[in-house]
Amino acid sequence: MAINSGDSPAKSDSRIRLWNGIIIAITVVIGLRLFYLQVVRYSYYKQAALNDQLKQYQIPATRGLIEAKDGNNIVPIVLNQRLYTLFADPPFIKHPQQVADQISRIIGGKPSSYIPELTVKGTQYSIIAHKLTQAQSDAIGKLQDPGLGTQGQYYRVYPDGDLAAQVLGFVNNNGVGVYGVEQALNKQLSGTPGLLKAITDVRGVPLAASRQNTQIPPVPGENIVLTLNVGIQEQLQQILAREYKATKSQGVSAVVMDPYNGHVVAMANYPTYNPANYASVSNPKLFDNNAVDYPIEPGSVMKTLTTSAALNTGAITPNESFYDPAHWVIDGFNIHDIKIDGGAREQNIASILALSLNTGATWMLMQMSQKGNTIINGHGIQTWHNYMVNHFLLGRPTGIEQGYEASGYVPPANLNDPSINLRYANTAFGQGVSVTAIQLSAALSSVLNGGTYYQPTLVDATIAPNGHETVNKPKILERNVVKPNIGPELEPLMEGVVKAYLNGGFSFMNFPSNYIVGGKTGTAQVAKPTGGYYANIYNGTYVGFVGGNKPQYVIVVYNIKPNVPGYAGSYGGQPIFADIVHMLINEGYIIPKN
Amino acid sequence: MLPRAGALRERKRATLSDTALDEAITVRRHKPDHWLMVLCAILLAVGLVVIYAISPALSITTGTNGSYFVERQALAVGLSIIAFFVTANIPMERWRKSYKLLIGAGILATLVAIALPVNPNYPAHRWVRLGSLSFESVELVIFSLLIWMAHFLTTKIKKSQISNVRLTAVPMIIAILIIGVVVAFIQSDLGSTAVIIAMMGIMAFVAGLPLKRILIIGCIILLGTTLAIAAFPYRRARLEAFLHPTSNCQGSDYQACQALIAVGSGGFSGLGLGSSVQAYGYLPEADNDSIFAIYAEKFGFVGSIALLAVFGYLFYRINRVATNAPDDFSRLIVVGVLTWISVQTMINIGAMVGLLPLKGITLPFISYGGTSIIFFAGAIGLVYQVSRYTYFVNHGARSQFNGRNGSDDDSSHRRGVGRAYHPDLSGRIDG
């Protein structure tokens, strides 16, 4: 154009064409680049996109309810409630003060307390509050604030507060059952979570209608109907709370069991807690169900089992008498009674139990060794060991539906042990062996029901999501614990113990005559962790039964280190047993003699 | 009103007598190039469709009403049609005369944008608020520079000063320096700065500024840019990020990486109009600077090439208008518009496909945002106006006149342009 510089219009045109050529060249380069990205490298970028966009979610299954019997009804004792977590996406909160005011109007609290979480930097998910109700969540939704959201979550609800707390356990923040039934039956209760694979937006919200989306619906958990009787359970808990204080105890536990099927009708410990507030419990020992996870040396209550074994082997007969020398020297140690009742004299089987003679229990082990003699030998040790381990199933978990069940301990029948005779003489009266309350209940039940060991159970039935009910049949672990006649032989011996205490001034052991009540106290020495026993600390234990024509319930009581003016078994364990039996009779739970 | 072919007359006067010139040069008025309108309409429609398709995503990620973006964009399209007809019908001479007013408005808008920021927390003050509307000051600056450059260069051609460095190159360098300080540094809008420099450079090049001088100025600018980058650590980091575009996908390269994923995952035929995923918050500025990546994700390689073809054909049509422009001013305006639109398109798409660093400028006609499409439609309106006229030489012109194609016969290029010849509209401009 500028002709004075010699340019011609043709040159101007050629400059435009040059520029146009450059534009075309760049466009071609971009086109080639697009070919490279979209065709050559397509699968790489497709995968990169899916890595970002395709997310997997578990769809939680609804957890099964836990129910129990209340009279003739089945009532839920653990329910689910859907509560909501309120969260914010801080970059989308345009006016934090205003939003905080709105939140405060809906869920309470000071507006200023929400400001920090609403304005936190570097996150798109900031939790504002937990456990909003459905109504509150709806109200938040009505605000239509893109920076706020709620997320539903099921929480366990306990309409009866601390009822059977340690039997139930609880569900932790991760949705996993811990302790008790919740732990033991977690799989059944939790069902099978569903799976959602979905292309989502950047916040993780699934986009509708994507070909990559797949969904497997969740299968809800089963409902569990417990064997617990709500009425008995409630009263048992009240009794334990009362006696815990009255006996200045460090902990009490009790089991009420139906001996004919192993059903646990009531099981409780004190102190306890409310599972709804498990998160605020500072001492995790409160979560323990000591009736199944706290084995102790049971003391003289063991004599009921020793007597049963000795009767069953024919080593003794129920009416047999023997000369009690008041002490035995075994492996160089003296065995004598805790009670000193007049020293050496003629005694019988009934008085072994009534007076709780350690010398008598030792004598029964001697009879199992060699009838008519007063020595302990390998045969007797092996026989008694066999009864403890293979008949009464001690030293191993019973398999009750509880978390953290303990095994207890039975000393091995090691005949090379130089003090094995002493060790085993001790086990005959419940020392040097450790047993849980549930183990004792099941073992005594097996004797009283005619010799069948039913696995202790808390589950009466399970109800599938489709409503189909499966009754939990009693599971027999051992058929020939003792011969059928041993129970009827042991019953009057144990009734005799109750009568002896009544006659001895324990007026609370007076029960109506149309019921049978039998029992046995135990005052157990407490082993030091360093070996040996404490001088003045005892655990009080009690085993017994109540019924009409036959034993209806077996009851085991453990009272840990009570501070009472007398024998721990008589003054710490026995009153609890008496309270329970009176309650059962008074409330009409026991069918009387006809 | 017919534009004047003053510069052409000046040019011919050097070799021809006035009479001969008058006989030789004729500007003919005829139907405008409707392709310009059609191609722009296609691009605007594509933009509206893409924004409509990603509206659900936009409403989720920005928390707005579902139809908010489409309504705003439709309004902008309406305004851009008005802008198109306004610029197409205000005669070139009047545009030329109003360059001072436009430059003044551009400066004022920039000052207002810097002094009265719409969002004080955002360091790049680029926006001017007019009541409830706001627009980007730099678009007005580019438009005013377009008019000023065309006027300035035409004047220099007329005075035969186009090769004079002091009189021609120095004012341009000063203008570039001011723009470099204000737009590149204060408003930190490197993309627009690059567009402005390219536009001014190409206009000067076409006006006849010696290539050697343009190259020297280009080297100086390159040196200055290098120094500017070296002086600011964050710019250095950006350059490094560009050289290794996927090294820090969770950090500074996030947008670049997500853009590549969007483009690449579109594959050969795309995910489909309603199936973009990257728009759901993964790719920032999905409606705006990154809209090409979303388009490529939806329509794949086929759709991307088709869009490039539409842009390419638009550039070609503008180019044809430039070569047939009736006078220097019109021709430089058209070349400036061509450069403005094409360079901005290249920078935007180049960044989306990982060939250039991200610059934060819109894709002409497609990106969401009123200012951008209104000014581009206005710019095309100017081209449309120019396309009404074809410069050609009379048959009776003397043989020593060296015509455009080196021939006295102008029918070849008329036919080449493909416009109908309307004798009733033709006429000698000086007649």
Q: Does the beta-carbon distance from B280 to A48 stay under 8 Å? A: no
Mean pLDDT across A547-560: 97
Phi first, then psi, for residue A98 (nearest 5°) are -65, -45
- A residues 52-71 closer than 8 Å to B (CB): 52-53
Convert the pLDDT of each residue in A69-109 to its tens digit. Answer: 998 899 999 999 988 889 888 877 888 898 999 999 998 88
Q: Does the beta-carbon distance from B264 to A49 stay under 8 Å? A: yes
Do the bridges between strand A66-70 and strand A223-229 make them parallel or antiparallel, or are there none, so unpaired? parallel
Convert the pLDDT of each residue in B254-266 to its tens digit. Answer: 888 899 999 999 9
Residue B425 has pLDDT above 60, yes or no: no
pLDDT of residue B340: 97
pLDDT of residue B422: 42
Convert the pLDDT of each residue in A225-272 to its tens digit. Answer: 999 999 999 999 999 999 999 999 999 999 999 999 999 999 999 999
pTM for the model: 0.65
Give the pLDDT band of residue B420 (cuts 50, 70, 90): very low
Share of chain A above pLDDT 70, in %: 96
- Evaluate whether B316 touches B39 at the Cβ level (below 8 Å): no
Q: Does the beta-carbon distance from B208 to A11 stay under 8 Å? A: yes
Convert the pLDDT of each residue in B125-178 to its tens digit. Answer: 787 777 666 788 899 999 999 999 999 999 999 998 888 888 888 898 899 889
Q: Which site among B163, B265, B333 would you substitute to test the A interface, given the most A Cβ atoms closer than 10 Å to its Cβ?
A: B265
Mean pLDDT lowest for which of A185-194, A339-348, B29-38, B329-338? A339-348
Give the pLDDT band of residue B218 (cuts 50, 70, 90): confident
ipTM of the complex as predicted: 0.84
| Whole-number Å distance between alpha carbons of A299 and A318 | 22
Give the pLDDT band of residue A196 (cuts 50, 70, 90): confident
Convert the pLDDT of each residue in A23-51 to its tens digit. Answer: 999 999 999 999 999 999 999 999 998 88
Winning range, highest mean pLDDT, from A131-145, B21-35, B220-234: A131-145
Minimal Cβ distance to B301: which of A8, A11, A39: A39
Q: Which site among A38, A46, A47, A94 would you substitute to test the B interface, given the most B Cβ atoms closer than 10 Å to its Cβ?
A: A38
Mean pLDDT lowest for which of A490-504, B135-149, B209-223? B209-223
Phi-psi region of A146 (alpha: psi -120 to 50; beta: other; left: phi over 0): alpha
| A208 close contact with B: CB closer than 8 A | no
Mean pLDDT lowest for which of A446-455, B365-374, B398-407? B398-407
Mean pLDDT lowest for which of A382-386, B120-124, B195-199? B120-124
Residue A494 has pLDDT above 80, yes or no: yes
Mean pLDDT across B344-360: 90
Q: How far is CA B258 from CA A1, B61, B246, B248, B284, in A?
A: 47, 16, 10, 11, 8
Between A237 and B286, name the one with better pLDDT. Answer: A237
Residue A333 has pLDDT above 90, yes or no: no
| A3 close contact with B: CB closer than 8 A | yes
B326 cis-preceded (ω within 30 degrees of 0): no
Cβ neighbours of residue A315 closer than 8 Å, sequence gap 6 or more: A364, A367, A368, A371
pLDDT of residue A80: 93
Question: How does the average pLDDT of chain B come out, rounded?
Answer: 81
Which residue does chain A place closest to B57, by CA atoms? A201
HSE-CB for A326 with a 13 A CA cutoff? 7
pLDDT of residue B26: 73
Question: How does the average pLDDT of chain A come out, rounded?
Answer: 91
Helix axes B137-158, B99-115, angle to 10 degrees: 150
DSSP H helices in B6-54 = 6-13, 18-24, 34-53
Give the pLDDT band of residue A143 (cuts 50, 70, 90): confident
| A142 close contact with B: CB closer than 8 A | no
Residue B186 has pLDDT above 90, yes or no: no
Q: Does the beta-carbon distance from B265 to A49 stay under 8 Å? A: yes
pLDDT of residue B416: 40
| Residue whose C-alpha is closest to residue A444's, from A399, A494, A395, A392 | A392
Q: Does the beta-carbon distance from A42 to B162 stay under 8 Å? A: no
Give the pLDDT band of residue B280 (cuts 50, 70, 90): confident
Residue B4 has pLDDT above 90, yes or no: no
Winning range, highest mean pLDDT, from B203-217, B392-406, B416-430: B203-217
Report the 3 state secondary structure along A332-375. Answer: CEEEECCCCCCCCEEEEHHHHHHCCCHHHHHHHHHHHHCCCCCC
pLDDT of residue B407: 38
Delineate the domains of chain A, giving CATH numbers in brackets.
Answer: 58-157+191-221 (3.90.1310.10), 229-586 (3.40.710.10)
pLDDT of residue B360: 81
